[in-house]
Amino acid sequence: MDKKEQALIIRKYQQYLKLEKSLSPRTCEAYLSDLSKLLHHLQTEHIGLSDVTLDDLHRFAAGLHDIGIHPRSQARILSGVKSFFRFLLLEEYRPDDPSELLEGPKLGRKLPEVLAVSEIDAILSAIDMEKAEGQRNRAIVETLYSCGLRVSELCGLKLSDLYFQEGFIRVEGKGSKQRLVPVSGRAVEELTAWLENRSGSWRIKPGFEDFVFLARWGNALSRIMVFHLVKELAARAGITKSISPHTFRHSFATHLLEGGASLRAIQAMLGHESIATTEIYTHIDRHMLRSEIIDHHPRNIKYHKEKGFY
């Protein structure tokens, strides 16, 4: 296999990641960067793609360890390598997959930080409602926690995704896969108040009219903006845990599980997908899923008590 053919294969692999695997540009870039490390190693060893064996890949993996790459980064690189060889097998560039038995380093499981309900209340109380973005920030925190969204899902949320009467919002997750997420009464209140504020006094740049959450200058919020907002509010609330927007997602799932919600319902709510769980998701009734969230999420329980529904 000459250099010209190899370059063509890599271009096709890039298209495969983007079009068939529906990976984001950033993830595609990471896969290709990891692949370049392998290709450099093979070039140094004078090994062609057609001739790579499992032993060659083991030597490559050992080299990653020897130069001090963190085990998690090693695991990610090797995952990208396995993806590439599966592609070569699928496209019949090779009759076999030498990476099939390639194993990454054993990783210890790190438990994520979780906020108590009282800490989330403290973060909400730390928001300065005298500022123009005060109601927006309340809606951001409440939506992250009450719906368990990824920060990218929050930033990409559109007005056309809100179905308050039906009690759902539509979320576009990883790989452009959409799901319906039940939204609590508390979150609806905060979002409604923000949308009234948004339409009344918020400058909106052309092209961003459909975005729910806007930056001060009228375009869509970025992930880093939300990250800094959460850090700032946590500091104001006196919370010393190392948290990020994703902490609200972990807290959402943990509190639901502690409240008695089924694990399957929580997995579906979070939009986690794998070969083992996809079939399970198709059997979860949406109305049952909504009642699970409404009955067990602490924010909903507190809201209903305040409104006298309990």
Q: Kindly list the catalytic residues.
A: 150, 174, 246, 249, 272, 281
Is residue 292 within 8 A of residue 261, CB to CB? The reply is yes
Instruction: Look at the alpha carbons of 295, 299, 302, 303 in this order and tell me if their dihedral is positive or negative.
Output: negative
Long-range contact set of residues 177-180: C-beta below 8 Å, sequence gap at least 24:
177/22, 177/271, 177/273, 179/268, 179/271, 180/286
What is the crossing angle of helices 223-236 and 117-125, to 10°? 100
Rounded Cα gap, residues 52 and 100, in angstroms: 12
Per-residue b/e over 147-171, b at no fewer than 16 CB within 10 Å?
bbbbbbbbbbbeeebbeeeebbbeb
3-class DSSP state of 151: helix
Rounded Cα gap, residues 229 and 151, in angstroms: 12
